[in-house]
């Protein structure tokens, strides 16, 4: 065959490297998760607005003659819902009637202040999620971390800077120990982490209540269950001056987010934790110690929750009470779910929930809307975030049953 009649060589298109395919898959997964989270928030806000409108007195009045003038009812519903959310925005982000720039931005600083313990505790819950553990114990870990931080804060008297570092270390240590107990029992006995963390929450709550009855913890001259105030050297400095409550604990939360992001995505330990969470059997076959992973991740999760307790003690409360953790530990679960267990997703979800908390009070005072509406919106967000995976799981099981039949 002559050269002129030889078939032309076919052009072979090389496939993209596996790393590019994996990166593209990760980007698509992240985009899909982000869209689902945004849609969950928007849908929850719409339903929350509808609930506000339905419970408004003016709406109920106009509904009495709905078929005669339906426009009045819809206009009243819009006014009720929009005024409630505008008031929430003014209390959480920007207050146009504030005195000067500081007064206008004060709500935003309050949102960041409230978000600080939510971010830290949410990171602890999210980190455990990535390793396949459902950490319900952030509430107890916050309490134990706050207890040790408060004790170091009011009983030790150290120079400025050193005292605050000691308080941070004590809070992180307390939370790590409380979380490490769960990881150790899970690794050694196979006990379920949900049961363990729930029980330890009650133990921590009653332990703090008992400690506050002892002379070494109860404030002198007070019969109330409250500890002495921590030294001024043990408090976080104000980030924007004395006119704002925002403190350097928020910077700690930002640094913790960066650290967790690096740990999960850039370190060998993070790779092992993600492997354990994705498939423990495959991880064990690859030579990764699953039991060690359980202990390590719960130590780290507890440490982050303990830092949340420190933020409460050194940042805003300055004294230990049995209610110092509020509901931050349980809210951290919803923050981690909304953030899809990613560090930065959890960070922004914590800020969103901080805005709900900060703005809910203003919404109630300005419009008379019950603050429990905020709790309903938060619950709906969790429902809509969890609904797609549940539907996928139900569909998959149904297909398996159909194939088996």
DSSP letter string over 133-162? Answer: ----THHHHHHHHHHHHHHHHHH----TTH
Backbone φ, ψ for residue 386 (5° rounding): -80, -20
Task: Please report, rounded to a whole number, the percentage of residues in the chain having pLDDT higher than 90.
Answer: 51
Indicate whether 158 pLDDT > 60. yes
Question: What is the spatial distance between Cα 318 and Cα 301, in angstroms, rounded to a whole number?
Answer: 23
Matching residue, tokens 């419009």:
367
pLDDT value at residue 369: 80
CA 163, 164, 170, 173 torsion-angle sign? negative
pLDDT-derived band at 300, boundaries 50, 70, 90: very high
pLDDT value at residue 370: 79
pLDDT-derived band at 390, boundaries 50, 70, 90: low
pLDDT-derived band at 147, boundaries 50, 70, 90: very high
Matching residue, tokens 């408004």:
56
Between helix 249-266 and helix 100-130 the angle, nearest 10°, is 30
Burial class of residue 22 (count of CB atoms within 10 Å of its CB; 0-12, 13-18, 19+): exposed
DSSP three-state, residue 247: strand
- For residues 362-386, average pLDDT: 82
Between helix 343-367 and helix 372-404 the angle, nearest 10°, is 140
Please check whether residue 314 is in contact with residue 359, taking contact to mean a CB–CB distance below 8 angstroms.
no
pLDDT-derived band at 30, boundaries 50, 70, 90: very low
Average pLDDT, the chain: 86
Q: Which of 230, 227, 211 lies closest to 219, judged by CA?
A: 227
Indicate whether 389 pLDDT > 80. no
Phi-psi region at 161: left, alpha or beta (left = phi > 0; alpha = psi -120 to 50): left
Please check whether residue 204 is in contact with residue 139, taking contact to mean a CB–CB distance below 8 angstroms.
yes
Question: What is the spatial distance between Cα 306 and Cα 170, in angstroms, rounded to a whole number?
Answer: 8
pLDDT value at residue 60: 87
Indicate whether 223 pLDDT > 90. no
pLDDT value at residue 405: 65
Question: What is the spatial distance between Cα 240 and Cα 258, in angstroms, rounded to a whole number?
Answer: 22
Q: Which of 209, 171, 140, 136 lies closest to 306, judged by CA?
A: 171
């Amino acid at each position: 065959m002559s050269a002129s009649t030889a078939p032309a060589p076919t052009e072979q298109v090389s496939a993209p490297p596996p790393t590019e395919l994996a990166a593209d898959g990760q980007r698509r997964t992240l985009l899909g998760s982000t869209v689902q989270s945004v849609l969950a928030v928007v849908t929850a806000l719409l339903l929350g607005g509808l609930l506000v409108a339905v419970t408004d007195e003016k709406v109920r009045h106009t509904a009495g003659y709905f078929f005669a003038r339906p426009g009045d009812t819809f206009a009243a519903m819009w006014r009720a819902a929009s005024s409630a959310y505008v008031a929430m925005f003014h209390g959480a982000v920007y207050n146009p009637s504030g005195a000067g720039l500081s007064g206008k931005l004060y709500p935003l600083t309050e949102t960041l202040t409230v978000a600080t313990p939510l971010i830290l505790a949410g990171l602890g819950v999210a980190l455990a999620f990535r390793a396949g553990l459902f950490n319900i114990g952030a509430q107890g870990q916050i309490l134990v971390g706050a207890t040790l931080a408060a004790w170091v804060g009011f009983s030790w008297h150290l120079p400025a800077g050193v005292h605050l570092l000691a308080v941070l270390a004590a809070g992180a240590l307390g939370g790590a120990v409380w979380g490490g107990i769960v990881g150790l029992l899970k690794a050694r006995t196979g006990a379920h982490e949900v049961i363990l963390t729930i029980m330890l929450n009650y133990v921590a709550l009653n332990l703090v209540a008992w400690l506050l009855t002892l002379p070494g913890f109860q404030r002198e001259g007070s019969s109330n269950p409250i500890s002495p105030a921590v030294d001024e050297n043990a408090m976080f400095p104000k980030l924007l001056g004395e006119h704002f409550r925002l403190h350097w604990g928020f910077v700690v939360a930002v640094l913790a987010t960066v650290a967790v992001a690096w740990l999960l995505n850039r370190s060998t330990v993070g790779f092992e934790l993600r492997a354990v969470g994705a498939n423990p059997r495959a991880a064990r076959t690859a030579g990764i110690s699953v039991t060690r992973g359980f202990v390590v991740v719960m130590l780290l999760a507890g440490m982050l929750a303990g830092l949340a307790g420190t933020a409460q003690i050194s940042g805003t409360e300055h004294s230990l009470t049995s209610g110092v953790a509020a509901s931050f530990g349980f809210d951290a679960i919803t923050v981690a779910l909304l953030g899809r267990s990613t560090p930065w997703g959890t960070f922004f979800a914590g800020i969103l929930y901080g805005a709900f908390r900060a703005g809910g009070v203003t919404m109630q005072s300005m419009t008379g809307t019950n603050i429990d509406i905020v709790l309903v919106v938060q619950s709906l967000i969790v429902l809509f975030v969890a609904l797609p995976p549940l539907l996928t799981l139900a569909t998959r099981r149904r297909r398996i049953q159909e194939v088996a039949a």
